[in-house]
Structure 1
């Protein structure tokens, strides 16, 4: 298999663009001490990212905002309830799977 220079440059460029934003903050932030307010702020980043991903997946279908006939949104209600009460990742995943399975059986 022949590697074209153009393809090689794209692969190397993609590797650099992927590597730098992940490693640079790690290197910089490992050498400094952040204030307490900065650490508290950073603790909310994973939750905000997860909420954005889940919210988009629940609310959008085919690029359009959809509230009616949205089975995923309906299944999310008991799933969120289990997550809040149990604080268990395994329990939440099982509740989500079972909720979606029951809803798809009831509403084919």
Structure 2
């Protein structure tokens, strides 16, 4: 790839990123979002977090395969229960890590 093509690609990606981010900032208050879409957008952070966490917990090993003897799964379930009951992020992290360490010490 030539230098001109590479710099053109950088500029196009930069302009595209700027335009996408500016559209939300510049059009804030001017654009009416339907209530149904607002309700749907409220679930985006939770779904993105689940999409990042579930594969990291369930798929282990060098070949990234599912295994029933994976101790991260019960530790994640315990952490999810603590998060559900307490609504405390720090307590959830501590409970998840302590349960994983305890399971690793036992098995």
Moved more, 4-13 or 68-77: 4-13
- Return the offset for 1:103: 1.9
2:34 is matched with 35
RMSD across aligned positions (CA): 2.6
Q: Secondary structure at the match of 2:23?
A: helix
Q: Does 1:87 align with 2:76?
A: no
CA distance in 1 between counterparts of 2:6 and 2:101 reads 44
Alignment correspondent of 1:96: 96
TM-score (norm: length of structure 2): 0.73
Point out the more displaced range, 72-81 or 25-34: 25-34
Between Structure 1 and Structure 2, how many residues are aligned? 104
Q: What's the counterpart of residue 22 of structure 1?
A: 21
Q: Distance in 1 between matches of 2:18 and 2:89?
A: 29
Partners of 1:20 and 1:101 lie apart in 2 by 46
Secondary structure in structure 2 of the residue aligned to 1:73: helix
